[in-house]
């Protein structure tokens, strides 16, 4: 049996299998099983073999990641100025060859050097807010993104691209939409969120096309109206390459954990598409009659906390009461169907439902219902239960936004002294007037 090489070494390996002798070259990862060797191939995929099937292993050097710096990159000053605001995520990640895990560690300069084609689209600045996975992002980071966007516009950028992990990308995009357009205004330029489902050193990565398309839209997209487009997301439109979707930050949601076209619209249509071909990039877009003025963005009060619950057989009043006692500012319950909660007891054998209804009616903080079904409206007028929910003070009737956009809207409203009756209003594209059945 050959000797196992150290993790991180680049090797050339020959192994015997059902198809005969096979040669592979790659970087050694921790073994997938005991007495197995696992290597990462150049194409981004891993292969594993039992050591007793390996006939030879030759070390050909250590793994040396591409750390080439952009240095002082020569840029075309005649191109539109775009600022890349870097927060982290898979689009800015690499494989840690000591563990085989994907970690967020790209610097802005590495991001630019990894996709040099973007220098042909825009005159770029890069700002680093952090190297965070998106599930670690909090409202304080929304405020930092807001400031970074405004500083970029004040410095002459026509657009910004925020590189962001995909898991909560749509939540941050909704938050910035309300910050810049919730009061009826618009940002001074285009705000584009992008990320990738697969890390940039994988052959199946969507990072390059997403970043190219995002910078292209930030530099060349239509003038911002503030209606649906205050902040947009640019991600793959399908499983294949060549087309990226431009979606409103208040109307899109991540619907799949791994697919490249994970981002899909909720109760609405895309703003446009960007096509990447050998001839360059081009775009289509829908028109808008909005004519808003540029306004200073609002911020989020980071002391506000919103507790979220899922309606169903295990929703009990003591959970909500504990959140109120802990100082939460509002309660959001993801209701079933049209927005219903377990608050009725027709058979007399579910006292928990009576307690829940009694607690909600006496609750001193707002109780909002969101849409557990994702698509479709919250309509509390269809059934008597919904009308009963309105009578005991539950808010949310008439909303058609995603639960995440509604969450950002509630936080924005509470931060800026707004009456929560605006939840059913359409401030910047979050509540679409027409719905598909």
**Which of 38, 83, 87, 90 is an active site residue?**
90
Q: Do domains 9-62 and 306-424 have the same CATH topology?
A: no
289-295 long-range contacts, Cβ below 8 Å, gap at least 24?
Answer: 290/225, 290/226, 290/227, 291/225, 292/181, 292/184, 292/185, 292/186, 292/225, 292/226, 292/227, 293/185, 293/186, 294/185, 294/186, 294/187, 294/188, 295/180, 295/183, 295/184, 295/185, 295/186
pLDDT confidence of residue 114: 66
pLDDT confidence of residue 185: 97
Q: Where are the domains of the chain?
A: 9-62, 81-285, 306-424
Q: In CATH terms, is domain 81-285 a member of 3.40.640.10?
A: no
> What is the tens place of the pLDDT at every residue in 77-121?
899 999 999 998 767 666 665 555 665 555 656 666 667 788 899
Is 34 or 179 the better-scoring residue by pLDDT? 179
**Which of 128, 163, 167, 400 is an active site residue?**
167
**Which of 40, 128, 186, 254 is an active site residue?**
254
Does the pLDDT value for residue 69 go beyond 90?
Answer: no
CA dihedral 40, 42, 43, 47 (to 10 degrees): -30
Q: Which of 437, 372, 436 is nearest to 403 (CA)?
A: 372
Topology given in CATH for the domain delimited by 9-62: SH3 type barrels. (2.30.30)
> What is the tens place of the pLDDT at every residue in 122-154?
999 989 898 888 999 999 999 999 999 999 999
Give the architecture-level CATH label for domain 306-424.
Answer: 3-Layer(aba) Sandwich (3.40)
**Which of 166, 225, 233, 298 is an active site residue?**
166
Let me know if 241 is a catalytic residue: no
Q: Which distant-in-sequence residues (6+ apart) come within 8 Å of 8 by Cβ?
A: 27, 28, 62, 63, 97, 98
Is 425 or 26 the better-scoring residue by pLDDT? 425
pLDDT confidence of residue 98: 57
Let me know if 167 is a catalytic residue: yes
Alpha-carbon distance of 371 to 435, in angstroms, equals: 14
Let me know if 166 is a catalytic residue: yes
> What is the tens place of the pLDDT at every residue in 146-173?
999 999 999 999 999 999 999 999 999 9
Burial of 289 (0-12, 13-18, 19+ CB in 10 A): exposed
What integer is the mean pLDDT of 381-401?
97
Q: Which of 76, 72, 68 is nearest to 119 (CA)?
A: 76
Q: Which distant-in-sequence residues (6+ apart) come within 8 Å of 3 by Cβ?
A: 57
Let me know if 318 is a catalytic residue: no
């Amino acid at each position: 049996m050959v000797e196992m090489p150290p993790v991180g070494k680049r090797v050339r390996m020959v192994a015997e299998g059902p198809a005969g002798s096979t040669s592979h070259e790659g970087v050694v990862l921790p073994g997938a099983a005991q007495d197995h060797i696992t290597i990462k191939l150049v194409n981004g995929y891993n292969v594993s073999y039992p050591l007793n099937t390996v006939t030879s292993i030759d070390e050909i050097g250590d793994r040396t990641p591409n750390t080439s710096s952009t240095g002082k990159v020569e840029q075309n000053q005649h191109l539109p100025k775009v600022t890349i605001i870097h927060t982290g995520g898979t689009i800015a990640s690499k494989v840690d060859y000591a563990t085989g895990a994907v970690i967020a560690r790209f610097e802005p300069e590495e991001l630019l050097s990894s996709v040099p084609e973007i220098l042909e689209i825009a005159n770029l600045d890069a700002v680093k807010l952090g190297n965070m996975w998106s599930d670690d992002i909090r409202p304080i980071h929304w405020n930092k993104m807001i400031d970074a966007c405004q500083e970029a516009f004040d410095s002459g950028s026509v657009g910004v691209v925020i590189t962001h992990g995909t898991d909560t990308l749509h939540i941050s995009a909704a938050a910035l939409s309300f910050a810049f357009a919730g009061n009826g205004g618009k940002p001074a330029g285009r705000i584009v969120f992008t990320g990738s489902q697969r890390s940039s050193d994988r052959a199946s990565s969507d990072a390059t096309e997403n970043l190219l398309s995002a910078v292209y839209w930030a530099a060349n997209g239509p003038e911002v109206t503030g209606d649906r487009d205050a902040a947009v997301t640019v991600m793959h439109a399908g499983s294949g390459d060549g087309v990226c979707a431009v979606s409103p930050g208040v109307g899109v949601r991540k619907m799949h954990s791994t697919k490249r076209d994970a981002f899909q619209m909720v109760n609405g249509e895309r703003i446009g598409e960007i096509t990447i071909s050998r001839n360059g990039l081009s775009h289509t877009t829908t028109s808008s009659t909005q004519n808003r003025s540029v306004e200073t963005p609002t911020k989020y009060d980071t002391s506000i906390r919103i507790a979220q619950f899922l309606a169903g057989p295990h929703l009990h009043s003591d959970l909500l009461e504990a959140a109120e006692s802990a100082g939460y500012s509002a309660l959001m319950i993801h209701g079933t169907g049209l927005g219903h909660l377990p608050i009725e007891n027709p058979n007399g054998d579910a006292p928990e439902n009576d307690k829940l209804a009694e607690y909600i009616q006496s609750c001193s903080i707002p109780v909002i219902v969101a849409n557990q079904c994702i698509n479709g409206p919250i309509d509390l007028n269809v059934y008597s239960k919904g009308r009963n929910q309105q009578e005991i003070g539950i808010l949310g009737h008439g909303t058609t936004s995603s639960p995440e956009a509604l969450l950002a809207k509630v936080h924005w409203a509470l931060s800026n002294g707004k009456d929560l009756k605006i939840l059913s209003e359409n401030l910047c594209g979050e509540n679409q007037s027409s719905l598909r059945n």
